[in-house]
Structure 1
Amino acid sequence: MHSAHATVRSEKAGRYLVQLCKHFAHKIPATWEETEGEDTKGHADFGIGACEMTAKDGALVLACNAPDAEGLGKVKDVIEDHVARFAWKEELKVEWQDGPAAS
């Protein structure tokens, strides 16, 4: 399994997470859970790989995985493109780190 993670700082992290999941849900299995005063969590399954998302402490935490490097690259590209589009006013940039996110 190949994996990568990123932390994107934004006070609107929860809003972006929900927006991403709602958008993806039109074409792929995507779910999210909004909770008052707690972390917001989301999941998108692209078939070739998946992305777990968490909004907490002013950051959008992304953890992607796929069975192969090509699938992981495609998932990362889709996530990165959509974060940039939805957060264009903030000019957010996703900087990926190889491997799983630290627990």
Structure 2
Amino acid sequence: MTLTAHIPTANASRYLQQLCKHWSHKFETEFDPQSGIIAFPMGPIRMAAQGDALVVTIDPTPDADVAAFKKVVADHLDRFAFREAPLTFDWK
């Protein structure tokens, strides 16, 4: 199951890079200003800065707690986006 959220923000690139840098000390990450991936144990997170939105895709492992996975991602992004938090996550 792959879940994707389109998160409206003018700061997509900044949040993408902050999230990748934040988790780079614990997990393998790759990122540039437009895209990033974080190798979480419960599945990878992929991000893309697209105009006025951050697109976040998670690919949970079969045994992952999907609700907790989505919450971890949302909580961390909201922390970085404190000036415009809470961000809107439309997981599909």
Q: TM-score when scaled to structure 1?
A: 0.79
Where does structure 1 lack aligned partners over 5 or more consecutive residues? 35-39, 99-103
Match of 1:37 in 2: none
Match of 1:57 in 2: 51
| Number of residue pairs the alignment of both structures matches | 92
Query: Structure 1, residues 24-54: CA drift from partner, whole Å, max 9, x if none?
Result: 10111111023xxxxx000011111111000
Where does structure 2 lack aligned partners over 5 or more consecutive residues? none
Query: Structure 1, residues 62-99: CA drift from partner, whole Å, max 9, x if none?
Result: 0101122634333222111101100011013242423x
Match of 1:76 in 2: 70
The RMSD of aligned alpha carbons is 1.6
**Which of the pair has more CA radius of gyration?**
1
Identity %: 30
Judge which range, 45-54 or 63-72, deviates more: 63-72
List structure 1 segments (4+ residues) > 4 angstroms apart after TM superposition: none
> 1: distance between equivalents of 2:15 and 2:30?
13
Q: TM-score when scaled to structure 2?
A: 0.88
